[in-house]
């Protein structure tokens, strides 16, 4: 397998129907050296999972069309190894806990604490080395 994180071309899929938030998260991840894909809806997100095979998806819970929990279920059917970190509004913590039961590895409240996001990504990616 991989000996360290530097050997892995780290791919992250950002899914949020609010373009400004998605771009803000994507810019942060690009600065950190990740290969970033962005989708603004669940259908496009699932296409990226099939084609780009991201290591991690950052997935908004509340989206128009297919919601984040539905997308999470489909991602886990397509590729159970994809790590999913849900993004929730503060009042949606119950949905965040439900997402954990469905296979998400973490959830992050909005407004996003980028230091926590960075730590959560590193923990998930480090687990890939085991």
Please state the pTM of the whole predicted model: 0.90
% of residues, the chain, pLDDT over 70: 91
- Closest among 97, 48, 37 to 71, alpha carbons compared: 48
In order of 16, 82, 120, 122, the CA distances from 63 in angstroms are 7, 20, 22, 26
Cis peptide before 47 (omega within 30 of 0): no
Question: H helices of the chain, where?
Answer: 19-31, 42-52, 68-78, 93-101, 114-127
Structural domains in the chain, sorted by start: 9-127 (3.40.50.2300)
Q: Average pLDDT in the 55-69 region?
A: 94
- Cα 111 from Cα 82, distance rounded (Å): 24
């Amino acid at each position: 397998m991989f000996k360290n994180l530097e050997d892995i071309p780290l791919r992250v899929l950002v899914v949020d129907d609010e373009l400004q938030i998605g771009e803000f998260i994507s810019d942060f991840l690009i600065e950190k050296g990740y290969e970033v894909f962005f989708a603004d809806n669940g259908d496009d997100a699932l296409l990226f999972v099939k084609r780009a095979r991201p290591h991690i998806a950052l997935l908004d819970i509340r989206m128009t069309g297919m919601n984040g929990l539905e997308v999470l279920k489909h991602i886990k059917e397509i590729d159970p190894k994809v790590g999913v970190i849900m993004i929730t509004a503060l009042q949606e913590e119950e949905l965040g806990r439900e997402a954990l039961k469905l296979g998400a590895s973490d959830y992050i409240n909005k407004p996003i604490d980028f230091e926590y996001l960075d730590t959560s990504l590193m923990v998930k990616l480090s687990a890939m080395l085991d």
